[in-house]
Amino acid sequence: MDKDRTAAFEALKLIETENTWSNLALGKVLKASGADQPFVRELVYGILRNRLLIDHTIDGYLKKPHLRTAERILLRMGVYQLCFMDSVTPYAAVNETVELARQKARGSEGFINGVLRAFLRDGARLQVPEISEALAPKELARRLSLKYSVSLWIVRLWLRSYGLQQTEAMLKASLFPAPLTLRANCAKITRDALIEELKKQGFDAVKGEYAPYAVVCKGSGVLSTELFQKGFFSVQGQASQRTAFLLDPKEGHTVIDLCAAPGGKSCAMAEQMNDRGRVLSFDLYPRRAELIRAQAERLGLTCITAAAADSSQPITRLEGIADRVLCDVPCSGLGVIRQKPEIKLAQRPADLEALPSLQLQILQNGSRCLKPGGLLMYSTCTVNPAENRQVIDRFLSESCSFVIEQEQQFFPQENGLDGFYICLMRRQNC
């Protein structure tokens, strides 16, 4: 049996039936299968990015309204290969899917063969809705949701917050993978030297424009290199890197990082400090604190102390001790849907309305840890004013001690960056 398509099926099933994150599902099945990673990743991530539109097209060929999960996954796989994977012939796309159905949806192979062949006869074209400003608001949102395979609640939120032009630009960006961006470990290697080493190993590597240690890399297998294993770089988007860089930690500083797992920003700040000083990193669960320790160990960083703590509660023992505080708070994650396309398909979180209050609480607790003159960074990986500037406005309305030094909302269609919000504030005496 085709181990590549089998692995893709199993990953998609884990995501669908157990709500497993795509990266974890892929990691699990690829490790066990020995399948071709680029093929499986393209098939899985491509289906997730286009799933609502693929389902909309499939539904047009059905006589019965409901499908079993395995049948739906197999049809998605066949349709995606026919529409998007030029390396796969139409014959292989149909026949291999039908063969897989004999194992995963026994008794349905004839039905799946019939649907895919009918789709192929019709030109293998997805049924893309037309978009027009003249449409009624509800119909406009519905069509945008289908065309770009993004949950309706996200489309409505963005239309309300940013208007049609900005919303459609963000939705378009969600259809494409984010560039792979690395962060050179400046405590071990310069960015230029890392780029040269990567090029020697066959990778296409260039400087990132928005963070001083960023390297945009093309090529597969970079995380299997000795350079990664020995801690010369980490994977981190430029907007996230910029957050740590703008906080500007210095050698000898005490830095507090709340909600820090998996530890990318903690490690970035420790590297900027040349591993001299203290980075106190906290996350809610012990297993997440362990992720931070593992990253620090791989990178050779000793100044990071990671521990489990609930940052929504006051941290009285740390009040007034820090030169820098980072509050990278829990959020809806709408800025990173290119990296985690299952977010596109998520139901509206039950706690969406409660998130800003939690975010404010964490920001207030973090601010109390700061010395006068110190810098406080609030950041999220979302594109939602209620979680971003509105939280800052509430915070500043309750405290005269802080002034904004820099604020920026990155959008996911801009220059290959993730959707990210950062607000850098300084504590004053008043």
Alpha-carbon distance 390 to 255, whole Å? 25
Alpha-carbon distance 34 to 188, whole Å? 33
Count the Cβ atoms, other than its own, within 10 Å of residue 126. 18
Contact 105, 69 (CB under 8 A): no
Q: Which amino acid is at 265?
A: K
Contact 251, 277 (CB under 8 A): yes
Q: For residue 353, is it left (φ>0), alpha (ψ between -120 and 50) or beta?
A: alpha
- Tokens 């899985």 correspond to 44
Q: For residue 263, is it left (φ>0), alpha (ψ between -120 and 50) or beta?
A: left
Alpha-carbon distance 97 to 5, whole Å? 8
Per the annotation, the verdict on 303 as an active-site residue is no
Tokens for 318? Answer: 């740390």
- Tokens 């005496």 correspond to 429
Of 217, 259, 331, 381, the catalytic one is: 381
Please spell the DSSP secondary structure of 191-252, one letter per residue.
Answer: HHHHHHHHHHTT-EEEE-SSSTTEEEEESS-GGGSHHHHTTSEEE--HHHHHHHHHH---TT
Q: Which amino acid is at 48?
A: L
Which residues are catalytically annotated? 381
